[in-house]
Amino acid sequence: MSLTIAVDAMGSDCAPQPEVEGAIQAVRQCNVRVLLVGQQDVVSAELARHPEAAGLPIEVVHASETIGMEEKAAQAVKVKRDSSMRVGLRLVKDGTADGFVSAGNTGAAMVTAKLVLGVIAGVDRPALATVFPNSARTATILLDVGANVDCKPQNLQQFAIMGDIYFRSIFAGRFPTASNPRVGLLSVGEEEAKGNELTREALPLIKALPLNFLGNVEGRDLYNGRADVIVCDGFVGNVALKISEGMVGAVRAILKESLQASLIRKIGFLLSRGAFQDFRKRLDYSEYGGAPLLGLRGVAIVSHGSSNGTAIKNAIRVASEFARSGLNQLIEQKIHAAQDRTSAAE
């Protein structure tokens, strides 16, 4: 049976165009129904520019307000009671939709999602998880990439549990390790003594969990496929994500520049263009859909402000897979089990 995903139609930098394109691609490819949430007239006008969308299971739900990229999250959420984010998340809360996708202000999306949906019992902080491509042709999940800049050791322990479950559910059948993901704690060296106060305290907590735990891993392990899930606080994770995005840009610029340097090289570039398209695709986070907020009582996917239609489509696909997987029930069970073990141990 097909699920219903609510999409913040006013979120991305070029909204509502990528959202509308993404919705059309999604309903065609992913067996979903889409509710585009935003200013009725604006969204309908964009939808009308796509005659092929006539008859597709896409509806517009009106929301009078929009939260801008530059607005302070807490403030904007407090003032704008009828924002496209809040309305879209209410659709999930009341069961009208099975999941929510937004390419808008990440901070505001997180605050609103926590406010409207609430967190799973036993989870202290929701975490934003992102999928990174790697040279082993698999993928590595890093969390938290920005929901929590100052973490406690038990937050990292909960992130490990949620990351393990998330990897299993989205990569089951795609990667052999999905049946028993290798979980690592991001640190500055592999020895247990290496790390900062936070990671040194978190290590034994994660070690105590029934996980395939590698112990400390290093920054380089984000790209070599050695770990399936890497746990860190939201400050380090956000820096890691943005450094990677920045480096992809720099690599493209440097390569392009040297490939233009001579006629021979230009010809070479033309002949090998396909390779660069693969390359772009492999390093293009939009191919991996958005980043889920794990630990909420509901499904909320945040995607990049610069998302194109494909990125939105993939985020909608991830939202529907997430909703189908019963992932949140699993998170609740395993978090409780971990807490029972801890209190038993005390």
**Looking at this protein, which amino acid is placed at residue 251?**
V
Which residue lies nearer to its own copies by CB, 277 or 329? Answer: 277
Q: How far does CA 286 lie from the centroid of its chain? A: 10
Whole-number minimum distance, CB 262 to its own copies, in Å?
7
- CA dist., res. 290 & res. 313, Å (int): 9
Bridge partners of 186, per DSSP, are 217
Residues in the chain: 346
| Residue 78 binds its own copies, judged by CB under 8 A | no
- Whether the upstream peptide bond of residue 16 has omega within 30° of 0, thus cis, is yes
Residues 100-139, one symbol each (x = binds its own copies by CB under 8 A, - = not), give: ---------------------------------xxx----
- 231 and 185 in contact (C-beta within 8 Å)? yes
The span of 5-13, 58-66, 212-220, 319-327 binding its own copies (CB under 8 A) equals 212-220
Contact between 268 and its own copies per CB under 8 A = yes
Interface pick for its own copies out of 48, 79, 121, 239 (rule CB under 8 A): 239
Question: Could you say whether residue 305 binds its own copies (CB under 8 A)?
Answer: no
Among 48, 121, 172, 254, binds its own copies (CB under 8 A): 254
Helices 153-171 + 327-345 axis angle, to 10: 140
242: left (phi over 0), alpha (psi -120 to 50) or beta: alpha
Considering only residues 49, 265, 336, 341, which one is a binding residue for its own copies as defined by CB under 8 A?
A: 265
CB of 81 to its own copies, least distance (A): 23
User: Cα 182 to the chain's mean position, in Å?
Assistant: 19
The tokens of 335 are what? 């978090």
Q: Which stretch binds its own copies (CB under 8 A): 22-30, 78-86, 184-192, 291-299?
A: 184-192
> How near is the Cβ of 333 to its own copies at its closest, in Å?
31
Residue 326 Ramachandran class (φ > 0 left, ψ -120 to 50 alpha, else beta)? left
CB distance 300 to 91 below 8 Å: no
Q: How far is the CB of 125 from its own copies (least distance, A)?
A: 14
Tokens linked to 329: 């029930």
Using the minimum distance from each CB to its own copies, give the nearer residue, 23 or 127: 127
CA distance 3 to 214: 37
Residue 275 Cβ vs its own copies, minimum distance, rounded to whole Å: 4
Stretch that binds its own copies, among 24-32, 84-92, 206-214, 245-253 (CB under 8 A): 245-253
Task: Number of residues interacting with its own copies: please give it, by CB under 8 A.
Answer: 64
| CA 340 from centre of chain | 29
50 lies in the binding site for its own copies (CB under 8 A) = no
Using the structure block, give the residue that is written with the tokens 């999604």. 26
CB under 8 A: which stretch of 84-92, 170-178, 276-284, 316-324 binds its own copies? 276-284
Question: Cα–Cα distance between 245 and 312 in angstroms, integer?
Answer: 18
Judged by CB under 8 A, the chain residues 155 through 174 that form the site for its own copies are none
Helix or strand or coil: residue 11? coil
**Residues at the contact surface with its own copies, assessed by CB under 8 A:** 72, 133-135, 146, 149-150, 186-188, 191, 193, 195-197, 199, 218-224, 232-236, 238-247, 249-251, 253-255, 258-259, 261-262, 264-265, 267-276, 278-279, 282-283
